Amino acid sequence: MSEYAFQMFAIILYMIAMLLIGWYAFKKTSNLKEYMLGGRGLGPITTALSAGAADMSGWLLMGLPGAIYAAGLVEAWIAIGLTVGQYLNYVLVAPRLRVYTQISKDSITIPSFLDNRLRDNTKLLRIASGIVILVFFTFYVSSGMVSGGKFFQSSFGFDYHTGMILVSAVVIIYTLFGGFLAVSYTDVVQGTIMFFALILVPLVGVFITGGLGETGTAITAVNPEHLSLLPSTAVAAGIISSVAWGLGYFGQPHIIVRFMAINTVKEMKSARRIGIGWMILSLVGAMCTALVGVAYFQQNGMTLDDPETIFIVMGQILFHPFIAGVLLAAILAAIMSTISSQLIVTSSALIEDIYKALFKKDATDKHYVTAGRVAVLIVAIVAMILAWNPNNSILDLVGFAWAGFGSSFGPIIILALYWRKLTNIGALSGMVVGAIVAFVWGQSATLSGMIYEMVPGFFSNLVVAVIVSMITYKQNPEIEEEFNQTLEVLKAEKEK
């Protein structure tokens, strides 16, 4: 069996496993709540690994190692900011969001929670939130499909479109039929593959390069400052911008929706420990993979044309072709887990927050589940059209989308959970201002060169939402009762 055949065999086994999990989830899904939110029955392991896998995408196995390989540990500040941001997300957002979304009319999406929490009779906030999710995530999904096409093109020599269609088809099938449960269960498998791949490659790599001492010597021979978090060329604004990525977590719908789906708030502590442990070890593994790669190429007098392929290349150098195929499956897992998560959240926004709010308010659950599946298909087809040209300029928006979501939703989620006086008008005003500021700032080379657009976008949203809410606030007994009930439930859970 050739090296190519071994690797393809591993990829085929992986894809079959994803489809089988989708079929299993399909058998367990019977109503809208289960299709969109898994019936709020996820365990802590599933919650943690699903949130992690949905979050990291191909950046973890290609983008981050490539940046560390090229520039050194100064690029680790993004990873540090993300870890801090996700930890605060688990502590500040997760428990309250799980309790409050159930108390506030059993909300199953972020827009429906904001609508119910703030008693927005105009439905403008819910519809605007749904549109933001629909637009940005369609771009996000298309970028993932492009990544899938390029993955098969670079790894196996496939035609770009063939690879893109193959990845898209598998993800669409298990997401469309299995819904949130299929996405969450496949994320567990995908997160596990990613984790072990990122631990295995640097451990074996260090052994091959002669141990920690020899590896460090080889790295510093390439660049004496490669192992420094604060090299002489470091700029404070650049470090602040990198750390500021962590602010985005509070407003990422495909991540925080996992917190809404956990079985009980009591299990959130276990989920946090598992999730943060997975994240730290995976990020460290990704960075160590890059550093070991620097050492290996220095010792062997080799060069690497594309730094972002360092994980793929090291896997092929160090392991049997079948194991290398499993490592390739880890990259595919990262890509597919994010696509599926974004598809189900986009479907939820389209059906629960736009279609249901505007057109069909009293249909059966069966109707909405069917509509949700149709929505997955429609969004996926639009994303595939956008992804057909791999050089389409629309994909440039993807780097901005993280800041767009963080600036739009982040401050509003925090205020909705912690501040009684937030109003629907304040939330809508803050959301619009945050999105506009982030967009304008991100499109200006001068401004974005000063500091990441997340910072001005996030804080302008926060300031506007607070000021407008203070002006428009009127006490509402129902809102007060839900807020107090949430605090009581949280207190009771802590005392157990």
pLDDT of residue 140: 80
pLDDT of residue 457: 94
Q: Model confidence at 211, in pLDDT bands (50, 70, 90)?
A: very high
Measured distance CA(54)–CA(338) in Å, rounded: 4
Residue type present at position 149: G
Alpha-carbon dihedral of residues 483, 489, 492, 493, nearest 10 degrees? -120
End-to-end CA distance of the chain: 58
Which two three-digit tokens encode residue 35? 């299709």
Measured distance CA(164)–CA(166) in Å, rounded: 5
> Cβ(210)–Cβ(361) under 8 Å?
no
pTM of the model: 0.90
Q: Which residues contact 56 (CB under 8 A, 6 or more apart)?
A: 194, 282, 334, 338
Please determine, looking at this structure, whether the domain spanning 3-391 carries the CATH number 1.20.1730.10: yes
- DSSP string for residues in 457-481: HHHHHHHHHHHHHHHH----HHHHH
pLDDT of residue 44: 94
Q: Tell me: pLDDT of 287 over 60.
A: yes
Which two three-digit tokens encode residue 473? 């606030």
Q: Which residues contact 239 (CB under 8 A, 6 or more apart)?
A: 77
pLDDT of residue 360: 66
**Mean pLDDT of all residues in the chain?**
88
Highest mean pLDDT among 52-66, 126-140, 183-197: 183-197
pLDDT of residue 394: 42
Q: What are phi and psi of 262, to 5 degrees?
A: -65, 150
* Element at 402 (helix H, strand E): helix 398-418
Q: Which residues contact 417 (CB under 8 A, 6 or more apart)?
A: 92, 93, 96, 97, 100
**pLDDT tens figures, 225-249:** 899 998 777 677 788 888 888 999 9
pLDDT of residue 398: 62
19-35 average pLDDT score: 84
Phi-psi region of 87 (alpha: psi -120 to 50; beta: other; left: phi over 0): alpha
Residue 173 Cα distances to 22, 31, 456, angstroms: 8, 18, 40
Q: Tell me: pLDDT of 219 over 70.
A: yes
Which two three-digit tokens encode residue 192? 């596990």
444-454 average pLDDT score: 86
What percent of the chain lies above the pLDDT cut of 90? 43
Reduce the secondary structure of 339-359 to three states and give it as a string: HHHHHHHHHHHHHHHHHHHHC
> Cβ(438)–Cβ(409) under 8 Å?
no
279-302 average pLDDT score: 94
Residue 476 Cα distances to 81, 468, 479, 480, 481, angstroms: 38, 17, 5, 6, 9
Q: Tell me: pLDDT of 480 over 80.
A: yes
**pLDDT tens figures, 150-190:** 888 878 888 989 999 999 999 999 888 888 888 889 989 98
Q: Tell me: pLDDT of 418 over 90.
A: yes
Residue type present at position 443: Q
**pLDDT tens figures, 309-339:** 888 889 888 988 899 898 888 888 888 888 8
**pLDDT tens figures, 90-133:** 999 999 999 999 999 999 889 989 999 999 888 889 888 888 88
